[in-house]
Structure 1
Amino acid sequence: MMKFLVQFFTWWNGQTAGTRLHTWRHGKRVGQDEFGNTYYQGGKDPEGRTRRWVIYNGYADASKIPVAWHGWMHHRTDTPPTDESYKAREWQKPHQANKTGTAFAYRPKGSMAAGGERPRVTGDYDAWTPRG
């Protein structure tokens, strides 16, 4: 019962009731990634292409989609990563989750979050002043 209420009242945790109904009526399961996200296709979008969607395992976070699935989701390729004819490129890196908001987030030199100081202003800058 709790799972039904969560799906009915939240959009960020797994699938909603509308997504469940659409998947049941039109969805054809294409595959699953290493994070447990499940990918579907079926029906047509306004441009006439086959509609593709993902049901996240847990919270909906687009940064949890690996590179290969991202290309398939955005119609960059018609071959899903589960197909035996799929071949990853040698330049593709392994997936990394989005680190924003964590202790591992990128903090450039001088960032207040990194505890650093901004570089001193040099003498080659003149502040703008309005002419009276």
Structure 2
Amino acid sequence: MKQFFLKLFTWWNSQTFGTQLWTWRFGELVGQDEQGNRYYRTRGGAIDPTLNFERRWVIYNGVAEASRIPPGWYGWLHHRFDTPPTEDTYAPREWEKPHQPNLTGTPAAYRPAGSTLASGRRPKATGDYQPWTPGN
């Protein structure tokens, strides 16, 4: 019962019931990436009459975080490439790095020196600040 309500109401955990139903009725699996995300398009590559192009979407494996989409699949999703990486000989460039999760809002987030969250106390002013005054 819990899984049913999670599918019905949560969009951030894989897919909702509505997305699952839409994918089952109109979707065609195109491929899967190394993180387990599955990529779909309209069945047979049909053109959506309201959009005037093929609909493409991703079903995340776990938490829906857009930064988890690899560059090859990102290009296909955004219609930069006509063929998905599974059909094309896509090779990542040497400067493309592997995915790192977004840690913002977590205890492991980056907190620079001087941040009130870094050490709990802000460092004292050093006296090098010169306030602006009119006429100077």
TM-score bracket for the superposition, by shorter chain length: 0.7 to 0.9
Q: Which residue of 2 aligns with 1:82?
A: 86
Candidates 45, 61, 73, aligned match of 1:57: 61
Residue ranges of structure 2 left out of the alignment (5+ in a row): none
The percentage of aligned residue pairs carrying the same residue is 53
Once residues 121 and 50 of structure 1 are traced to their aligned partners in structure 2, the CA distance between those partners, rounded to angstroms, is 61
- SS of structure 2 residue aligned to 1:6: helix
- SS of structure 1 residue aligned to 2:55: strand
Cα distance change on mapping 1:126 and 1:46 into 2, 3 Å? farther
Cα distance change on mapping 1:5 and 1:68 into 2, 3 Å? same
Question: Match for 1:21: what amino acid?
Answer: L
TM-score, normalising length from structure 2?
A: 0.75
Candidates 44, 48, 54, aligned match of 2:48: 44
Deviation at 1:72, TM superposition (A): 2.1
Root-mean-square deviation over aligned CA pairs: 2.6
- SS of structure 2 residue aligned to 1:41: strand
TM-score, normalising length from structure 1?
A: 0.77
Cα distance change on mapping 1:58 and 1:123 into 2, 3 Å? closer
Once residues 80 and 72 of structure 1 are traced to their aligned partners in structure 2, the CA distance between those partners, rounded to angstroms, is 6
Deviation at 1:54, TM superposition (A): 0.9
Residue ranges of structure 1 left out of the alignment (5+ in a row): none
Deviation at 1:121, TM superposition (A): 5.6
Q: Which residue of 2 aligns with 1:9?
A: 9
Structure 1 stretches of 4+ moved >3 Å: 118-121
